[in-house]
Amino acid sequence: MTEHEKPPRQVLQILHLEDSEVDHELACLALRRGALAFNILRVETLSAFEQALSSPPDLILADYQLPGFTALDAWRLLQQSRLAPPPPFILLSGAIGETAAVAAIQLGISDYLLKDNMGKLAHTVARTLEISEARRAKERSDQELALSERRLAELTAHLHASIELERAKIAREIHDDIGGALTAVKFDLAWLARHNTDTAAQEHLGSATEMLQHALGASQRIMLDLRPPILDQGLIAAVQWLADSFHQRTGIPARLHTTQEHIDAPPSLQLVAYRTAQEALTNITKYARCTRVDLDLSLDEGLLMLEIHDNGQGIRDEDRQKPSSFGLKGLEERARMAGGRLEISSPPGRGTALRLSLPTEADTGPTQES
């Protein structure tokens, strides 16, 4: 196309609900004067209007008061037709008050124009079509965004599942291979120590045994962080183990409060609660500067609840909004994917409270550790 050529104009397909031939001709004249390209079909009855919708128009013009019915009856027929998207609907009438016109707009009708202002019809049509197209573009964008968010959530869920499976795999390998090999070496060093009387050799064996014991301890800590076997004993035992480990590591008391002996929730939800507690305690260690941590765990009326509260310095809003604050964002996303929610409150000077709520009936995912 050269710079002097213009794209062809769209020919509008207009459906005109009008019982007056004269008013119809005046509408056509106003549209032609507005330099609009159009084909127009005039109908006078509801049955003819409904039949004409079988070939969906680009625009509907409708008189308000017609013999035996009003434009609102035609509007309801249009809604029942379930055209997607429905064409813009403009009232073009000389017998409608402002109150009735406003009520029609509130129902969803696009616009209205008095026949006394017929000269503005082309402008009203053009404006209505622009608004309609902008609305449709927004709806398409919203649908694309919703689809993108759903795909992102599915990818995130897949990544979480893959990470948990990989954690379990690595933990088993550490236990079975590395742990087994280190234990065997420890037995060999012990045998050498019993059967060697050389003082220098005994010193080297003692040093090697000490380093080996440190490696065994490190491998056990890594394995427990990846996938502690205590998870098999249930959520209460696992969270209590986290609290005890936190106390031993930091010296800060961490108390678990629960009135139940067992949490009967799907394993995948128990895993979400466990990982939430694990990450929360890690964050408290790094940032809270607290002297006490309380954990509450319960299952009541199909809702698994975990609350973790510290008496530390709290979290500033600007810190929570930092692009690098992936820890809390990850916890919120993990809770959302499980059908629950994570709430964080941190009043100035009153510590931080984290509340996780998970509907147990909402679980749709498989157990992600084995």
Please state, for a pLDDT cut of 90, what percent of the chain lies above it: 47
- What pLDDT is recorded for position 6? 47
Which alpha helices (H) appear in the chain, and where do they start and end? Answer: 21-33, 46-52, 71-81, 98-107, 121-173, 179-194, 199-226, 235-250, 267-283, 317-320, 326-337
Identify residue 14 by its one-letter amino acid code.
I
pLDDT, tens digit, 9 for 90 and up, residues 326-341: 667 888 888 988 889 9
Please state whether beta strands 89-93 and 111-114 pair in parallel, antiparallel, or not at all (unpaired). Answer: parallel
- What pLDDT is recorded for position 249? 92
Tell me the domain boundaries of the chain.
12-139, 230-370
SS (H, E, C) 205-250: HHHHHHHHHHHHHHHHHHHHHHCCHHHHHCHHHHHHHHHHHHHHHH
pLDDT, tens digit, 9 for 90 and up, residues 154-213: 787 677 778 877 877 887 788 778 888 888 898 888 899 888 888 888 888 889 989 988
pTM of the entire structure? 0.56
- What pLDDT is recorded for position 316? 75
CATH fold, domain 12-139, is Rossmann fold (3.40.50)
Among 101, 94, 95, 92, which residue's Cα sits nearest to residue 124? 92
Supply φ then ψ for residue 198, to 5 degrees: -70, 130
Specify the CATH number of the domain 230-370.
3.30.565.10
Q: Assess whether pLDDT exceeds 90 at residue 18.
A: yes
pLDDT, tens digit, 9 for 90 and up, residues 91-118: 998 877 778 888 888 888 999 898 989 9
Identify residue 188 by its one-letter amino acid code.
D
**Is-contact 58 87, C-beta < 8 A?**
yes
